[in-house]
Structure 1
Amino acid sequence: MLHTHQSFAVTDLHRLAVSILVSSGVPADDADLTARSLVQADQRGIFSHGLLRLPLYTEAIRLGGINPTPTLSYSSKAAAVAVLDADAALGQVAMQSAVDKVLEMGRVQGIAAVAVQNSSHYGAGAFWSDQLAAAGFLSFITSSTGPVVAPHGGTTKVLGTNPLTLGAPASADWPLTADLATSNGAYGKVIAARNEGQQLPEGWAVDTEGNPTTDPNEAAAGSMIPFGNHKGSAVSVLLEAFASSLTAATYAYETVDIWSSPSSRMNNGHLIVGINAEAFTSRSHTEARVADLQQRVRDSGPAGREIHAPGDPERGEEGAAATSVRLPRSTAEQLRALALKLSLNISI
């Protein structure tokens, strides 16, 4: 969809992102974490969840929608369960704490879940499922978002893009990973298309009258469409419940998105469930079995046709972008403008 790109060193992008966040009042360690999350998304070709988001994060910090120095607090009613109040933190800060908590409880209990309230956008979900897989955990992760999706057949924005991330550790290559929006396209891709002057694929969105549109401006005013017709819509509705009903987090239709009002404290809800493979047969058994499945998927095509297991395309992109990333031109221009606005003596 995006045709105009510029290449930049990964180290330069990371350094710039950290500097921008620190200048916005984010502590250095949290800035490093958030920058790594965003840059990795760009390395994997997921530009909708990469540095495109950084100007929005900093504007939300400036206007109070995101708290750069939150006080994270946990409560619990069971040994393998916890609720995290993120105090309007950057979503990456909230999620890193939640992932660490899941690993801590799951190593003892075999399975653990953390529900998060009062958070914000956490970037690409695979950034978190990869950490769990590296520790031998299978994972289920979802989140609420701002209101951008109408249920199947509807025209009112009731749902978010309600991301779903599933991960399983494998003994070869990399984890088996599905990381997707439950709308036909991520909302960040609508923003990216608008910034780049591109059209959306057909079937992604409808305008305010419910008519199909490929215009990103009409899509932003109208609604995104769930993937998979009524079945995908059903999955999206249930993910909304999983993400927000366990805590005081808001549903999408109760939320003012920071894309619309950067001063809004979105109160996003996240849910992470981690399953420790070692508590079942064994970690090595599960990792070998997942690797077998992964390879069987890759071998399922006719001779000469490459078939990807879930997660393979993103890993291939990341490998090719290990040292240099091709960013959409509009994202690079926004980063330069932001660095100038913050009087940073650093450029890309």
Structure 2
Amino acid sequence: MIFYTFTEQHLRQFTENVFIQMGCPDTDAKLAADVLLRSDLRGIDSHGVARLSGYVRLWEKKRINARPVVKVVHETATTATVDGDSGLGLVVAPFAMKIAIEKARTYGSGWVSVKNSNHFGIAGYHALMAVEQDMIGISMTNASPLVAPTYTTERLLGTNPMCYAFPAGKYPPVVVDMATAAAANGKLEIAQRANTAIPEGWVQDAAGKTSVNPHELKAGGSLLPLGSDKDHGSHKGYGLGATVDILSAVLSGANYGPWVPPFVAFLDPPNDPVGEGIGHFFGAMRVDGFRPAQDFKEHLDNWVARFKSAAPIDQEKPVIIPGEPEYAAEKERKKNGIPLIDAVVDDLNALALKLGIAGLS
């Protein structure tokens, strides 16, 4: 496996060009590229530019609308439901989070559910939009059914990520951004490209036995919920994944459970949908709706400092604050560039050739 390093600006321009070739307006192309680049900058390589080909394939299948008319279809003072018009989730999700933030600015909190959308990148991007306004941000989405609930081999839930982001003072925001599965599918894709085994406890085979084969899903296996198997707390991950599915889709009118359309273009959506597209859920809460924002941030700083000072089991491995590795990666990659493995570079160059735009190298 070989790594190539690219500047943020180079990858950003390339990504914008791809979205423009799909027919996205310039503003949408810039926004979609920003969401993907934030993922790569934060070290979440599974959800960055490596996903570009997937979006293009869905657009070619007419499952992504490059010029959606995103609109509010139901609303109260503090809540709303948004119809994404089959648009890029990378564009629909920020639209919805902005509404949640504006409602929070006026009423203290805002809550927005979304239907008829697509994959929205990393949940952290959207939750951090609220943090920039001294608000607590909440972001979640359902996803293609790849996860088997506890005690079954049937895929009924997606990796269904959720994110909670909190503004701090002298420290970076505390960002809890995670899949509710034992591992995100993107991590399997990275292992597939690198042709390496995955850790035990991520997936099970078609018979329900644990496997370290990154290609197991293609053979009828499934991802496991957070907690791995029934003996290690998988019911907790199952419950979290179910919560995301209900808030994102049952609440909004999107597809849920096994009816969520797949991200991969070679699989067709179920022919008996129960809703529209995939669903998201966003929340924004003004910190000063509970106590002065400065007081909160000072005490969160104190919280961070105390946890960082916890006695480590291994002196080489100090306690990590949620979001700390991603913050460090973003600082380093903004300075030194973003590494991509050769398989991703080859894929993106092939995509550029197909679309008639300049390649990465």
TM-score range, shorter chain: over 0.9
Match of 1:238 in 2: 243
Residues in 1 aligned to 2:43 and 2:217: alpha-carbon distance in whole angstroms: 22
Paired residue for 1:188? 186
Q: Gaps spanning 5+ residues in structure 1: where?
A: none
- CA separation in 1, counterparts of 2:180 and 2:137? 17
Is the CA contact (8 Å cut-off) linking 2:97 and 2:283 kept in structure 1? no
1:258 to 257, 263, 281: 263
Rounded to whole Å, the distance in 2 between the matches of 1:320 and 1:111 is 34
Aligned pairs (5 A) from 1:334-345 = 334-345=347-358
Aligned equivalents of 1:4, 1:181: Cα separation in 2: 28
In 2, are the aligned partners of 1:190 and 1:216 still within 8 Å (CA)?
Answer: yes
Among candidates 16, 19, 25, match of residue 18 of structure 1: 16
For residues 258 and 242 of structure 2, the distance between their equivalents in structure 1, rounded to whole angstroms, comes to 12
Residue of structure 2 equivalent to 1:197? 195
Deviation at 1:77, TM superposition (A): 4.0
Maintained 8 Å contact 1:143/1:240: yes
Structure 1 residue 146: Cα displacement? 0.5
Match of 1:139 in 2: 137
Matched, 1:208 2:206: yes
Displacement, 1:219? Answer: 2.9
Shift in Å at residue 314 of structure 1? 0.9
Change (3 A) 1:281 1:19: same
Conserved in 1, the CA contact under 8 Å of 2:22 and 2:56?
yes
State the partner residue of 1:328: 341
Alignment partner of 1:268 is 2:268: no
Where does residue 224 of structure 1 map in the other structure? 223
Q: Deviations over 1:144-187 (max 9, x none)?
A: 10000000121000111010101111112321001000111101
Contact kept? 2:124, 2:139, Cα under 8 Å: no
| Separation (CA, whole Å) in 1 of partners of 2:343 and 2:329 | 20
In structure 2, runs of 5+ residues without a counterpart are 228-233, 271-275
One-letter amino acid of the counterpart of residue 61, structure 1: W
Measured in 1, the distance between the counterparts of 2:178 and 2:264 equals 20
Alignment partners' CA distance in 2, 1:172 and 1:4 = 37
Report the TM-score, using the length of structure 2 for normalisation: 0.91
**Does the aligned pair in 1 maintain the 2:259–2:269 contact within 8 Å?**
no
Measure how far apart 1:94 and its partner are: 0.7
Between the aligned partners of 1:20 and 1:273, the Cα distance in structure 2 is: 30
User: How far apart are the structure 2 equivalents of 1:18 and 1:140?
Assistant: 27
Aligned residue in 2 for 1:37: 35
CA displacement 1:161-218 (0-9 Å, x = unmatched): 0101011111123210010001111011112222222221111001112121111221
Query: Aligned residue for 1:160?
Result: 158
3-state SS, counterpart of residue 37 of structure 2: helix
Q: Give the distance between the partners of 1:301 and 1:336, measured in 2 at CA.
A: 47
Contact 1:102/1:114 (8 A) holds in 2: yes
Question: What is the CA deviation profile of residues 213-262 of structure 1, one whole-angstrom value per residue up to 9, with x for unaligned ones?
Answer: 11122134310000122222122122211111112101130123031547
Question: Which residue of structure 1 lines up, in the alignment, with residue 299 of structure 2?
Answer: 289
Greater Cα offset, 260-269 or 108-117: 260-269
CA contact (8 A) 1:65 1:263 kept: no
Query: Does residue 1:249 correspond to 2:241, yes or no?
Result: no
8 Å contact kept, 2:201–2:224: yes
Whether the aligned pair in 2 keeps the contact of 1:295 and 1:309 (CA below 8 Å) is no
- Aligned-residue CA RMSD in angstroms? 1.7
Q: How much identity, in percent, do the aligned residues show? A: 27
1:4–1:181 distance in 2 versus 1, CA, 3 Å: farther
**Alpha-carbon offset, residue 97 of structure 1:** 0.5
State whether structure 2 residue 331 is matched by structure 1 residue 319: yes
Aligned equivalents of 2:185, 2:94: Cα separation in 1: 23
Residues 24-80 of structure 1, C-alpha deviations (whole Å, 9 max, x = no match) = 111111111111211221122211111111000011112111111000110334200
| Offset at residue 277 of structure 1 (A) | 0.8
Higher alpha-carbon deviation: 194-203 or 21-30: 194-203
The range that moved more, 135-144 or 83-92, is 135-144
User: Aligned partners of 1:129 and 1:123: how far apart in 2?
Assistant: 12
What secondary structure is seen at the aligned counterpart in 2 of 1:138?
strand
Label 1:346 to 1:218 Cα distance change in 2 as closer, same or farther (>3 A): closer
Q: Distance in 1 between matches of 2:59 and 2:95?
A: 20
Equivalent in the alignment of 2:94: 96
Instruction: Report the number of matched residues.
Output: 346
Question: 2: distance between equivalents of 1:92 and 1:290?
Answer: 30
**Bigger mean CA offset, 294-303 vs 231-240:** 294-303
Cα distance in 2 between the residues matched to 1:307 and 1:101: 36
